[in-house]
Amino acid sequence: MKEWVGFNFQREIERVREAFGFDYVGIALVQSPERGFELKWAHVTGNKSERHRRIKLQSGKGVAGLVFKTGKPIYVGDALQEVGTDSLFNYPIIVAEGLKSFGAIPLYKSYRVNGVILVGYRKNQGLTLEQFEEFKREIGTGFGPFYDKEMVSDESVQQ
């Protein structure tokens, strides 16, 4: 994470959690190519289990893998209803943390998804669509050039 020197992820997600009152915020980052581009939950806050430490997701697996692969945000207002108990186990971090409503957005760098930020509540419909939109706007500016594609291209021009 040399390129992000001076940026404190942990402090930032804690700030986000407090500002929005989320139960859980986590950031998954892509590992180096030598590690097969796996996604790891690098920074979390509000966690009740340590399971995220063991999880290394391949692209396309789990919430982070899905967002990473598609490059699009995910919003789930009611996990039990929308995902269903039968396939919820495919999202281990949601199960481990008991999140009932959650949203995740990709963090871009050089037109590529470099990480995923996940926010969620442990109660149903805790995260509303409006709130999620607001959160996306907040990240777009607050997290610097990671979310907005336009802003990312600015960064690459500077390079």
| Residue 89 half-sphere exposure toward CB, CA atoms < 13 A | 2
Q: Which stretch binds other proteins (CB under 8 A): 3-11, 90-98, 99-107, 146-154?
A: 90-98
Coil/strand/helix, residue 153: helix
Is 151 an interacting residue with respect to other proteins (CB under 8 A)? no
Distance CA(5)–CA(146), nearest Å, equals: 14
Phi, psi of 136 (to 5 degrees): -60, -40
For the CB of residue 95, give the shortest distance to other proteins in the complex, in Å.
8
Q: Measured from the CB atom, is 79 or 139 closer to other proteins?
A: 79
Identity of residue 81: Q
Name residues contacting other proteins, limited to 13-72 (CB under 8 A).
Answer: 33, 36-38, 49, 51-62
Q: Measured from the CB atom, is 11 or 72 closer to other proteins?
A: 72
**Residue with the two structure tokens 């929005």:** 20
Among the listed residues 1, 85, 130, 157, the single contact to other proteins using CB under 8 A? 85
Distance CA(8)–CA(15), nearest Å, equals: 11
Q: Which stretch binds other proteins (CB under 8 A): 6-14, 75-83, 85-93, 119-127?
A: 85-93
Q: Is 139 exposed, middle or buried (0-12, 13-18, 19+ CB in 10 A)?
A: buried
Among the listed residues 11, 48, 72, 112, the single contact to other proteins using CB under 8 A? 112
The answer to whether 113 and 105 are in contact (CB under 8 A) is no
For the CB of residue 102, give the shortest distance to other proteins in the complex, in Å.
17
Distance CA(64)–CA(4), nearest Å, equals: 20
Q: Measured from the CB atom, is 83 or 128 closer to other proteins?
A: 83
The residue ranges that bind other proteins (CB under 8 A) are 33, 36-38, 49, 51-62, 85-86, 89, 92-93, 96, 110, 112
